[in-house]
Amino acid sequence: MITATQFLLERIKKHVTLTAAEEERLTEVCLVKQMKKKQFFLQEGDVQRYLVFVVNGCLRSYSVDENGFEHILQFAPPGWWISDMRSMLEQTPASLNIDAVDESEIILISIPDLERLYREVASLDRFFRILSERSIATHQHRLIDSLSLTAKERYTSFCRQYPSLITCLPQKFVASYIGITPEFLSKMLKEPIKK
């Protein structure tokens, strides 16, 4: 069984090459943390001081509107990163909540350590640029989907993006992510497939 930091290094090395010294420099700043189901990593109004990588389990980011409805922006299964980017970059109060969908293991990298890594390890600066570009592309695609696709098409898109989660997430989370009520999702999934 591989360690949390070995899993992180494997994911990074799919995109960039690191020397042994660079790997060691990265692992020195990694803080491994266990989270319980429903435990918050970040709550609206707090400042995000760490970048989060999911090793095991699943985290989600979401906002809560004035009527108490949750609007899920992202799920982060193993191998994914999650954050309130504005809070992290500007060190301002978060507008998102991030909590554990189930028991999870995460790696935290503090913002000052991340900034030092960018300066000291060019490959990591490149890796996080690649990660940021992919994140922007994913969020743009999701915005287009939410504006132009039907609920059923958004559900299909969700299944493609998160194939490992579709069977283990509560339907209310899936419904929130695709922008419909749990009742509508349940009714939609019971409808026969048209040929």
pLDDT score for 192 = 66
Cα 148 to chain centroid, rounded: 23
pTM over 0.75: yes
Q: How many CA atoms lie within 13 A of 140 on its CB side?
A: 6
Going from N- to C-terminal start, the domains of the chain cover 4-121
What are phi and psi for residue 7, nearest 5 degrees?
-60, -45
CATH code, residues 4-121: 2.60.120.10
Q: What single-letter DSSP state applies at residue 192?
A: P
Check pLDDT > 60 for residue 195. Answer: no
Cα separation, 27 vs 181, whole angstroms? 42
Q: Which of 18-32, 128-142, 173-187 has the highest mean pLDDT?
A: 18-32
DSSP H helices, 111-192, are 111-120, 122-148, 151-161, 171-178, 182-190
Nearest CA among 155, 147, 159 for reference residue 178: 155
pLDDT score for 163 = 86
pLDDT score for 90 = 95
pLDDT score for 61 = 97
